[in-house]
Amino acid sequence: MQQARFMPRSVAGLASIVGYLVVIAAFVVLINQDFGWLWPSVALAAGVSLTWIASAAVQRKFEREASAAGFNTAEVRAIEDEAERLNDEEYP
């Protein structure tokens, strides 16, 4: 039986969570206009950038591990496409 985990396993996972939290906080502050528009906009850009960088790091790690397991890039893309298709069928 698997247990749910709260803590991310890597720095990229932690960066992604922090990025999402920064984006949410920036939106709240931007909507409330507590600090004007400049600082929340900077925080929003920083949160999106942090999330994007973390996502790219996770993707690179996935591709590196798939390559070590003997899969080439085309096979990985085909597997990802099939998983997305199955997900779309299950959750329309």
**pLDDT (tens digit, 9 = 90+) per residue, 38-56?**
888 999 999 999 999 998 9
> What pLDDT was estimated at residue 34?
78
**8-state DSSP, 91:** -
| pTM score of the predicted model | 0.68
The values of phi and psi at residue 36, to 5°, are 80, -150
CA angle 59, 9, 26 (to 5 degrees): 75
Burial annotation 47-76 (CB, 10 A radius, 16+ → b, else e)? beebbeebeebeeeeeeeebeeeeeeeeeb
> What pLDDT was estimated at residue 3?
58
